[in-house]
Amino acid sequence: MLQQLTIRDFVIVDSLELDFATGFGALTGETGAGKSILVDALALTLGERADAGVVRSGCDKAEVTACFNIVATPEVSAWLAANDLDSGDELLLRRVVDVGGRSRAYINGSPATVQQLREVAENLVDIHGQHAHQSLLRADAQRALLDSHAGLNELAAAVAKAFADWRAADKTLAEVAASGAAMLREREQLEWQVQELDALAFAADEWTELEIEHKRLAHAASLIEGAQFALATLVDGDAACENQIDAVAARLGGLAEFDPALQEVAQLLQSVQAELGEAVSSLRRYAGRVDLDPQRLAEVERRIDAVHSAARKYRCQPPELPNLLAGWRARLAELKEAGDLEALTAKAQAARAAFRELAKRLSAGREKAAGELGGAVAELMRQLALGSGALQVALLPLEEGAAYGMEQVEFRVCGLSGNEARPLAKVVSGGELSRISLAIQVVTSRSASVPTLVFDEVDVGIGGGVAEIVGRLLHELGTERQVLCVTHLPQVAARANWQWQVSKAERNGATLSRIEALDTKGRVEEIARMLGGVEITEITRKHARELLEKV
């Protein structure tokens, strides 16, 4: 449930902090006062597109924060956990838009994407705009509404994926059949290249080892000579430094008896003697291993030459040859699979069968839901003074199917002008279309799982006794959900459990919008204004009180 909405510098709102109640709430005010700004601000936190136009004139940024209680929406908590976002009993959605049109989104204080806002909002709020009946004229919107009402969204998504898989398999089969000769030539060339590099048997880490071994073998004579020179200088020669260090250490050790200051130097020389001994041992072991091996040097040079030759041939560096071979093998496997027309045909047929099976289940679900939706909407249409009008949800079969299944969905209306059922798009009267749209929205909202419903002037074109029925329907919805309705009809506003009034005022040379929560007296005055216009009389106040007493 929506608990609080905080708005800063949004359009003509400088600062608002609104606390929402349960039940049915009405938002009223004069035309142009900014009633729909509240809905637009809320929609921004739910992931609607943002632009610089929402930033109040003279300000650097606009900011909107919506706070929701999510105790009764476990799917929201599960989504937050799956996305590693902090969750508790409350959820904060925040959106900031700067004067350049750039926006930032936050969920519980953590940076988020607009797509994440949209995903979590699906389980929080449904907004029915005043132009909803226009989108309902589109076939795709009608299909989406039926699927959502019937709880078929996941199945519809699976059907769309199965259709895409089937089309992809068909496309691959057609391409292979059309380009078989070219693929065969590519396959033969790859087989020859793979065979050549397989024979080379060059491993990824071999090149570094070859380089190290070649340097050692190529400079073996210098290495041997250097080791022998070092040994002669250190221990084996007549003037070997080991003997000289021993003599110096012994001499200073004796003198240290007369001056302790020399003791530290003597100890350092003893450490040098120990380390020199380790160095000499290592040199002797090294000298024993190093040997001239012309035969091995020739083998290493032949191996390096073979690798260089292959690298030049395939225009790459020697260390890249193993990766090149792996890529060829992968492509060769693809070609072998793709070249099997029989297997590809079987794969395409299996994909088509999988699509058909899922689409059949989707069709059955739609057929069941179509009758239920049509009957429920027809009942409301009669209450909304549409006589014997009824809604038929027609399922028009598609021979080959489409990404959305084996049928197109078409909303048809009958009983208004003659008995012939006509597509909803052919309903001429704007008032009739508005009422039909409202009936559809009320029915589908009842089946929705979201806790908050927003209706933004969906009652345009409705008046009189029908308006009272609309108010009653929204009031009934308010017993099950939190409902907010932006309305210009007093009959609708009077049925609300709570009411806010939107007005505009000049402040420091700027036009600002403000919202006031109305008490009983304030509601009488506001509904009287809605009934009687600018001049409010006792008669209109009496009428307003009568409307409120009906709740």
Are 238 and 328 in contact, with CB atoms under 8 Å apart? no
Cα distance between residue 269 and residue 241, in whole Å: 12
116 CB-near residues (< 8 Å, 6+ apart): 83, 105, 107
Q: How confident is the model at residue 533, as a pLDDT?
A: 66
Q: How confident is the model at residue 172, as a pLDDT?
A: 83
State which amino acid sits at residue 294: P
**32, burial (CB in 10 Å: exposed 0-12, middle 13-18, buried 19+):** exposed
Q: How confident is the model at residue 46, as a pLDDT?
A: 93
Q: Tokens at residue 55, please?
A: 């930033």
Cα distances (Å, whole numbers) of residue 105 to 19, 40, 75, 200, 276: 22, 16, 21, 56, 67
Q: How confident is the model at residue 230, as a pLDDT?
A: 80
Q: How confident is the model at residue 352, as a pLDDT?
A: 95
Which CATH architecture is the domain 1-124+450-551 placed in? 3-Layer(aba) Sandwich (3.40)
Q: How confident is the model at residue 417, as a pLDDT?
A: 61
Cα distance between residue 455 and residue 26, in whole Å: 10
Query: What SS3 class is residue 230?
Result: helix
Q: How confident is the model at residue 551, as a pLDDT?
A: 66
Cα distance between residue 37 and residue 514, in whole Å: 11
Cα distance between residue 46 and residue 337, in whole Å: 46
Measured torsion, CA atoms of residues 374, 380, 383, 388, in degrees rounded to the nearest 10:
-10
Q: How confident is the model at residue 369, as a pLDDT?
A: 94
Show me where the domains of the chain are located: 1-124+450-551, 187-336
- pTM summary value: 0.61
Which ranges of the chain have pLDDT less than 50? none
Q: How confident is the model at residue 165, as a pLDDT?
A: 95
**88, burial (CB in 10 Å: exposed 0-12, middle 13-18, buried 19+):** exposed
Are 407 and 401 in contact, with CB atoms under 8 Å apart? no
Cα distance between residue 513 and residue 406, in whole Å: 50
Q: How confident is the model at residue 173, as a pLDDT?
A: 83
Cα distance between residue 350 and residue 101, in whole Å: 49
Cα distance between residue 269 and residue 271, in whole Å: 5
What is the per-residue pLDDT across 114-139, written as a single tens digit (0 to 9) for each?
Answer: 999 999 988 898 887 766 556 677 88
